Amino acid sequence: MLARQRQELILDEVRTTGGARVSELVERLGVSDMTVRRDIDVLAARGLVTRVHGGATVAGSSVDEPGFVAKLGLHTAAKQAIAAAAANLIEPGASVALSAGTTTHAVASALLGVPRLTVVTNSLRVAEVLHESGRDDLSVILTGGERTPSDALVGPIAVAALRRLHVDWLLMGVHGMDAEAGFTTPNLVEAETNRALVASARRVAVVADNSKWGVVGLSTIATLGEVDVVVSDDQLEPDARKVLESSCGRVVLAA
């Protein structure tokens, strides 16, 4: 198969599913890991895809917002490890807010091991995970609001609900994290809702895998200094870790 044919197949896979892993492409195309990475580099240089750790995603601007399903299959091992580490921050009996996103969706499952929780969320997917557990010692409060492509409930109704709440922890997923822009999202209304989540919490932890570093969405949710803990995976670049530690104070890297 010619390089151009491979690259067209890779591009088609990324556009169809929102992203593709190198390991899956190696198996599908019957070529080496290095060949697939070179093809992704070529597509990235042409602005057709965005190269991320372990694969590629749809090339986008600061206003592009991939859907929940498109993001669900990306970096799954890292998200599971991050979720377990984030759940270790939470003590039994705590009140916890969870924002929307695929990483917080994994966190919701991990929190099922923590007894006597009250969870506030603007995520339909998170609420579903918690509700289906059937636990008697778990209270779930869903904010309401308008639904986004990432299945977040946002807007004035969500913000109004959050302004009257006070939680011990916020575990927040983000679209990107950057030394200058801070923690960002491509959705302006979701940014406003997430800022209300930040304001409702005594302590804030961002849960984000290493591919989010250097990504900048349209709107800033919080500066690096407004967050108490960043929970990421152990593939986070050393320079990124230094920046986060100097600004946030604590970085947890899950293996």
Locate the DSSP E strands across the chain.
Answer: 19-21, 49-52, 55-58, 95-98, 117-121, 138-142, 146-147, 153-154, 167-173, 176-178, 182-185, 201-207, 219-222, 229-233, 251-254
Section 96-119 average pLDDT? 96
* Residues with Cβ within 8 Å of residue 190, at least 6 apart in sequence: 100, 148, 150, 152, 154
Sign of CA pseudo-dihedral 106, 112, 114, 119? positive
Per-domain boundaries in the chain? 3-59, 71-254
Per-residue model confidence as pLDDT tens digits over 166-217:
999 999 999 889 999 999 988 889 999 999 999 999 999 999 998 888 888 8
DSSP H helical ranges for 60-123: 68-72, 76-87, 102-110
Using alpha carbons, select from 211, 116, 235, 131 the residue that is nearest to residue 168: 116
The CATH number given to 3-59 is 1.10.10.10
Contact 99, 121 (CB under 8 A): yes
Q: Is the pLDDT of residue 221 over 90?
A: yes
Section 107-117 average pLDDT? 96
167 or 16, greater pLDDT: 167
pLDDT of residue 168: 98
Give CA–CA dist 174/194, Å, rounded. Answer: 9
Phi, psi of 230 (to 5 degrees): -115, 125
Per-residue model confidence as pLDDT tens digits over 57-75:
766 544 455 555 555 556 6
Q: Is the pLDDT of residue 43 over 90?
A: no
The region of weakest confidence among 17-21, 143-147, 158-162, 247-251 is 17-21
Residue 87: pLDDT band (50, 70, 90) is very high
The CATH number given to 71-254 is 3.40.50.1360
Give CA–CA dist 196/153, Å, rounded. Answer: 13
Model confidence pTM above 0.85:
no
Across the chain, what does the average pLDDT equal? 89
